Amino acid sequence: MTRVGVVGIGHTVFGRRSDATVQELAFEAYREALADGDVDPSVIDASVIGSVPEYHKQRSLAGVIQEYLDLNPRPTWLTEVACASGSAAIRTAWLSIRAGVHDVVAVIGCQKMTELTTAEILALMGRVGDVQWESVFGTTFPGYYAMFAQRHKHEFGTTNDQLSLVAVKNHYYGARNDKALFRKEITVEKAQASDPVASPLNVYDCCANADGAVCLILAAEDRARDLSDRPVWLDGLGCATASMSVLRRPDLTGLPSAADAAQQAYDMAGVAAADIDVAGVHDCFTIAEIMAYEDLGFCAKGEGGAFIQDKASYIGGSSPVNVDGGLKAKGHPIGATGVSQAYEIVRQLRGDCGERQVPDADVGLTHNVGGIGQYCFVNLFRRD
């Protein structure tokens, strides 16, 4: 079956984008992607929009964006799986191309979050958990991940210093990413002195809400080689789910959906964890990145704390992770996040990341989690 390649990429600055509507953000990323691949809009067969509609006043967001991009009457549709909506859009576009329905598809992840208050966002995110048995009792995203952190500390001796080291690394790289929300380095002392959120997590253990959009243009292999002289191939995809209720999970030290999705992607691409040269993982909280190291097989179960302490996830380490700053420093406009991860991996495999470049990167991975691990998408990219 045909391979699917990425031929164009575009990314807005993440942050409080009061200067643009959501469709204007989508256009900003789309225009950049067209120019990046020297793609004429007439070759786009369809678009897939990854976004969570509850954050916008506009319903049926895909139609508004399609109209603004002047892509009517070509088809468009929306994918939504909480914070993994962008990766779901990538997977859906890949499937339509592999099925022979379309040859060239624009994938756009976009979100405007800062028009809502923090309290409203927390309430919306809390409802991603089971609304009958959990969210009605006041569960929040930080509260869920605080439980993961407490259990990981209890079982494996993970320390608060190790959690803070994840934030230090990601802010170090975010300071070198002109698309990131936060572009300042921090220290362990500053991270641990920040206000408590949900013990043991402090402010610097938590990612920030943001506005932003990212676009990838995917194409079937023959079209990809016509449209780009350096396509990056999406060769492995994995997707898995877990129970909505966290209380039904057998283990609170990792995400079973992530381990399952990773194995699917490795098997499809014919690679192993040791073959991954650079990765973008879903570090919504510092403990989430530590669990991802283990779920993806970058280190053994329980060794994630030591992994960051040894700087194994830095450039020059065994598995560079989130060298764009991750969600933690780059920001988390939820519908855009999975596409943003892919954007970074494509740039890494092209060798375009300057001082953040992982040397000789051939294989890259994205790990995008929806909800509290109810959904997970793992995608593997490879250059020729």
Of 206, 332, 367, 376, which is the active-site residue? 332
Query: Rounded to an integer, what distance in angstroms lies between the CA atom of residue 179 and that of residue 324?
Result: 9
Query: Rounded to an integer, what distance in angstroms lies between the CA atom of residue 95 and that of residue 98?
Result: 5
Look at strands 104-111 and 46-50 and give their pairing: parallel
Closest CA to 201 of 163, 252, 155, 151: 163
Query: Rounded to an integer, what distance in angstroms lies between the CA atom of residue 170 and that of residue 49?
Result: 27
Which burial class, exposed, middle or buried, applies to 221 when counting CB atoms under 10 A from its CB (0-12, 13-18, 19+)? middle
Query: Rounded to an integer, what distance in angstroms lies between the CA atom of residue 370 and that of residue 145?
Result: 13
Query: Rounded to an integer, what distance in angstroms lies between the CA atom of residue 108 and that of residue 22?
Result: 11
Query: Rounded to an integer, what distance in angstroms lies between the CA atom of residue 146 and that of residue 287?
Result: 8
Closest CA to 332 of 216, 215, 207: 207
Query: Rounded to an integer, what distance in angstroms lies between the CA atom of residue 327 and that of residue 344?
Result: 12
State yes or no: is 83 an active-site residue: yes
Of 11, 56, 83, 299, which is the active-site residue? 83
State yes or no: is 154 an active-site residue: no
Which residues are marked as active site?
Answer: 83, 332
